[in-house]
């Protein structure tokens, strides 16, 4: 019954890592778009919008991702909505990422000194122009490192989707471990794959930062 941990298992783990990357991508795109709106809602000078955004961020950041996944996958069907695993995952990962992206980008935007806004105003630029041409380029540069830092977290957090049936890297490791009873080899392999993904991300971030500084 118990079999050896062999090279086809390593391939299986690598294939499972496609899910890890795919899920992180979905969360990045969905969360990024939504996060942009959240960041805007946080800084536009419209108080009710600010409160709404703050409430949303507190709600999402204050509840565990696991709970959000559960609510979307198992909770909505109880209310009569039929939700597929992909929909549930895309929704909950995007909402989760959007709250964090929103806060990261809000911080980056607000860390651009107020003088820059004032200087733009002194030149007769409109709010929109000051935002897109003066503040945003500087904020993007500031935001790169924390954004990638969160992405690395996100990659690792995709392992929670195993609970609603996704066989991504962590879940695949559990499955192989159960068949081989060789957790050390299996999890070391999985750790190496995670490292490759996350290290690539942080290297990309470094390149991006350097490039943005160069042209800045």
Provide the binding-site residues for another protein, judged by CB under 8 A.
1-3, 8-9, 12, 64, 66-67, 70, 73-75, 77-80, 82, 162-165, 167, 174-184
- Mention every residue, 6+ apart, whose C-beta is less than 8 A from residue 109: 39, 43, 135, 136, 139
3-state secondary structure at position 84 = coil
CA distance 18 to 210: 29
Q: What is the DSSP letter of 123?
A: T
CA distance 134 to 154: 30
Whose Cβ is closer to another protein: residue 46's or residue 191's? 191
Q: What is the DSSP letter of 46?
A: -
Q: At closest approach, how far in Å is the CB of 22 from another protein?
A: 18
Q: At closest approach, how far in Å is the CB of 16 from another protein?
A: 10
Q: At closest approach, how far in Å is the CB of 177 from another protein?
A: 4
Token pair for 179: 């068949």
CA-based end-to-end distance of the chain: 61
* Distances from the Cα of 53 to the Cα of 38, 47, 93, 124, 157, angstroms: 6, 10, 18, 30, 23
Which residue, chain included where needed, has tokens 């794959």? 193
CA distance 114 to 150: 26
Q: At closest approach, how far in Å is the CB of 181 from another protein?
A: 5
Whose Cβ is closer to another protein: residue 22's or residue 32's? 22
Q: At closest approach, how far in Å is the CB of 18 from another protein?
A: 14
Q: Nearest to residue 164, comparing CAs of 82, 92, 65, 85?
A: 85
Q: At closest approach, how far in Å is the CB of 168 from another protein?
A: 12
């Amino acid at each position: 019954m118990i079999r050896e941990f062999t090279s086809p298992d390593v391939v299986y783990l690598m294939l499972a890592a496609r899910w890890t990357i795919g899920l992180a991508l979905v969360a990045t795109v969905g969360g990024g778009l939504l996060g942009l709106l959240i960041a805007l809602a946080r800084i536009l000078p419209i108080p009710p919008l600010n409160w709404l955004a703050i409430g949303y961020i507190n709600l999402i950041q204050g509840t565990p991702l696991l709970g959000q996944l559960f609510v979307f996958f198992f909770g909505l069907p109880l209310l009569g909505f039929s939700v597929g695993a992909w929909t549930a995952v895309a929704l909950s990962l995007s909402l989760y990422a959007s709250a964090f992206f929103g806060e990261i980008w809000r911080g980056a935007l607000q860390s651009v000194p107020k003088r820059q806004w004032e200087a733009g105003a002194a030149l007769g630029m409109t709010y929109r122009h000051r935002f897109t041409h003066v503040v945003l380029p500087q904020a993007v540069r500031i935001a790169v490192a924390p954004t990638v830092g969160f992405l690395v977290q996100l990659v690792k957090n995709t392992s929670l989707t195993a609970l609603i049936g996704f066989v991504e890297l962590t879940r695949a490791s559990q499955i192989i471990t159960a068949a081989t009873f060789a957790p050390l080899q299996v999890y070391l392999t999985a750790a190496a794959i995670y490292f490759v993904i996350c290290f690539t991300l942080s290297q990309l971030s470094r390149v991006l930062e350097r490039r943005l500084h160069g042209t800045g």
